[in-house]
């Protein structure tokens, strides 16, 4: 149909139908095979809340819960070891900085600002280069991280049992890797096989289970290694992440004519259901199908602050009522719940989860610290003052 240059607008009324990608591919195959195709339009209503969102909420909260307790336990063990070394007063062991930070990376304010720049550049690169081959590269990188995370989690869990303690404490030198425990060597082939099997069969209907297992293990490991040293760094990091999420979900539409974050998360132009850096569960009672998803950043970034709260509580010997962890954990759960409520109210349009999570978690932490008179300690030191164990005060 061709319209002349001086012709007025016509009310053509051609119906347009949107189909899921798999349904469209199936229809196209039947047409190419010269099969008789009958199409009947049916538009069922979506449920207000799908069970998949409930399970996804539990997975996100459970991931932060497990990572926080692991991080706090490690910090307490390091503090106990540091006190023992100080009691011995051995000069060769008095480098307390190495003891307290062994195997841990403390981010600083500069790193928090740099996160926004690096994450934005990486997101634009994903948006511009998104294709089948580029997604394959992401899958390989995700598998490498998943193997490391799954191996770390399994070794830590198995080491708690006395049957595996000897294997976990016995080491052997491996070229290019250094000293590795026998338990790690035993677990590593299983982790590699699990990751490879998922990568090969990731397009089958239940492959999301393997992706979630690898993703959860990776996030728990990251939350164990990377730490927020004080509330100042946590505030800067979450504030930057808050602005980052809003910009790339909403504001980016003005420059790119579509939401960059949503396009990347869906994996458009890649032939996949989305990038692997997501937790996903198929919508169980939604006649339209699809997945409920949550990005790793929506769990890891608030999780850094929640893990910091539990480490502080344990070092300050606070109970659940007087501490910060229960409040921070509750605030994260409520923030994520509000995210799903907003998602359903907006008829499934993508929402920046940190828009709701950050004000809840950070606002709760700052308010409690101010009311309890501990905000200065939380803001600067990040841990309570502890008396030096080898100094004893004599009564006068």
In angstroms, what CA-CA distances link 100 with 96, 110, 303, 378?
6, 21, 21, 18
Number of Cβ within a 10 Å radius of residue 197: 12
83 given a catalytic annotation: no
Using an 8 Å Cβ cutoff, are 217 and 152 in contact? yes
298 given a catalytic annotation: yes
Using an 8 Å Cβ cutoff, are 158 and 164 in contact? yes
Residue 332, helix vs strand vs coil: helix
Catalytic residue among 50, 212, 245, 273: 245
CA distance 294 to 245: 13
All residues at 6 or more sequence positions from 336 whose CB lies less than 8 Å from its CB, including other chains: 57, 60, 61, 294, 298, 353, 356, 357
Using an 8 Å Cβ cutoff, are 311 and 339 in contact? no
Give per-residue burial for 159-177: e unless 16+ CB within 10 Å, then b.
beeeebeebbeeeeeeeee
Catalytic residue among 50, 273, 286, 298: 298
| Tokens read off for 292 | 């409920």
Using an 8 Å Cβ cutoff, are 123 and 261 in contact? yes
Question: Which helix (H) or strand (E) segment is 278 a member of?
Answer: strand 278-282
In angstroms, what CA-CA distances link 83 with 76, 97, 196, 316, 394?
11, 12, 44, 15, 20
Residues serving a catalytic function are 245, 298
């Amino acid at each position: 149909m061709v319209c002349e240059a001086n012709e007025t607008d016509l009310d053509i009324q051609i119906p347009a139908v949107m189909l899921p990608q798999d349904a469209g591919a199936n229809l196209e195959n039947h047409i190419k095979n010269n099969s008789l195709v009958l199409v009947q339009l049916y538009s069922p209503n979506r449920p207000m809340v799908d069970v998949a969102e409930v399970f996804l909420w539990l997975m996100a909260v459970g991931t932060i819960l497990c990572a926080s307790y692991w991080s706090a336990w490690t910090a307490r063990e390091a503090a106990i070891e540091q006190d023992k070394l100080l009691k011995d007063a051995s000069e060769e062991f008095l480098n307390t900085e190495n003891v307290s930070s062994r195997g841990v990376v403390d981010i600083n304010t500069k790193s928090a600002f740099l996160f926004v720049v690096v994450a934005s550049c990486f997101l634009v690169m994903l948006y511009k280069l998104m294709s089948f081959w580029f997604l394959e590269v992401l899958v390989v990188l995700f598998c490498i991280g998943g193997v490391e995370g799954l191996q770390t989690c399994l070794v830590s869990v198995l080491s708690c049992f006395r049957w595996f303690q000897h294997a976990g404490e016995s080491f052997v030198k491996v070229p290019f890797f250094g000293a590795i425990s026998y338990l790690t060597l035993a677990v590593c082939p299983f982790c590699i096989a699990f990751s490879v099997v998922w990568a090969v069969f990731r397009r089958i209907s239940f492959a999301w289970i393997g992706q979630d297992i690898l993703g959860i293990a990776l996030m728990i490991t990251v939350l164990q290694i990377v730490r927020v040293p004080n509330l100042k760094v946590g505030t800067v990091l979450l504030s930057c992440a808050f602005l980052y999420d809003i910009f790339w979900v909403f504001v980016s539409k003005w420059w790119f004519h579509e939401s960059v974050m949503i396009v990347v998360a869906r994996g458009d132009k890649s032939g996949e259901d989305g990038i692997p850096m997501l937790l996903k569960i198929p919508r169980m009672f939604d006649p339209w199908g699809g997945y409920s998803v949550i990005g790793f950043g929506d769990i890891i970034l608030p999780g850094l602050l929640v893990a910091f709260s539990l480490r502080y509580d344990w070092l300050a010997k606070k109970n659940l009522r007087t501490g910060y962890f229960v409040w921070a954990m509750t605030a994260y759960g409520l923030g994520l719940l509000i995210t799903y409520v907003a998602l359903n109210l907006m008829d499934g349009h993508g929402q920046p989860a940190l828009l709701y999570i950050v004000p809840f978690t950070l606002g709760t932490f700052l308010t409690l610290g101010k009311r309890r008179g501990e905000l200065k300690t939380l803001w600067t030191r990040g841990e309570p003052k502890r008396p030096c164990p080898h100094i004893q005060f004599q009564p006068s």
